[in-house]
Copies of this chain bind each other. A is one copy, B any other.
Amino acid sequence: MRVPSPSLAETVENVAPPRMNRRQAAKVRTRLKVLDAARALFAERGYDAATIRDIAKGAGMSTGAVFANFQDKAELFETVFSEEMEGLLNDMRTGAAGVEGRVTDRLTAALTAGYHRSLGHLPLMQAMIARSWFQPEDADQRSRAFVGPLVLWIQDLLQAAVGEGELRQDIDQTLLPRMIWDTFISNFRYAAYDGWGVEELTPHVRQQLDLILSSQMARQ
């Protein structure tokens, strides 16, 4: 069967990284520098106490240069937040991939990978959780778009375990994934204030998953 070759233009558009001129490349570098400075300042002071002025200072540029890239502090924060959630999802996927065994094994591996990632910048994670509890309605609406895929991914993992006959057919597909996500997040408190590392968090979250899911197993 003959597959038509893509045109050169199509190839470039679909495969090659976008070609940037110097000005565009400089803009990308500026954006990355601003995001680095923002991450550092949010982690140090939290959302409210961080100012665009100090973020600009941290990035070694003017506030004007920051505003050329981000509309306001909220947009800057949401960019940092969305990148963190994307990274978490990737790491959880990687953590669960290739783990055979029961659904609690796969979930424990995924959440452990998440802890591995986020403990590396725990104060930023704390600042993000704190902000999630006290933000305007519209900011919450936007942040759901970033957290949603993670909860959906947990839901898919549970659904697969239903398909394999491991979990009951009638599990609550809304409550369970949210409860597991909330549990995952709650545990950061032990990392923040009790100095727990992954070694303590992993058996803890496994025990929590066992509690939550043991009555939901199809065969006990």
Contacts and interface: CB of A to CB of B under 8 A. Distances in A.
Nearest to A190: B178
Nearest to A216: B211
A81 to B, nearest CB: 14
A189 interface: yes
Contacts of A132: 189
Contacts of A134: 46, 123, 126-127, 129-130
A16 B19 CA distance: 82
Interface in A90-116: none
Interface in A117-141: 123, 126-127, 129-134, 137, 140
A140 to B, nearest CB: 5
Interface residues of A, number: 35
Number of chain copies forming the complex = 2
A186 B179 CA distance: 9
10 contacts: A46-B134, A123-B134, A127-B133, A137-B193, A140-B192, A172-B207, A175-B204, A179-B183, A186-B186, A211-B212
Given A126-B133, A192-B133, A211 B179 contact: yes
A199 interface: no
Interface in A36-76: 46-49
A175 B137 CA distance: 33
A30 interface: no
Contacts of A183: 179, 182-183
A169 interface: no
Contacts of A192: 133, 140
A49 to B, nearest CB: 5
A175 B126 contact: no
A137 B132 CA distance: 21
A53 to B, nearest CB: 16
A173 interface: no
Which of A127, A131, A175, A212 gathers the greatest number of chain B CB atoms within 10 Å? A212
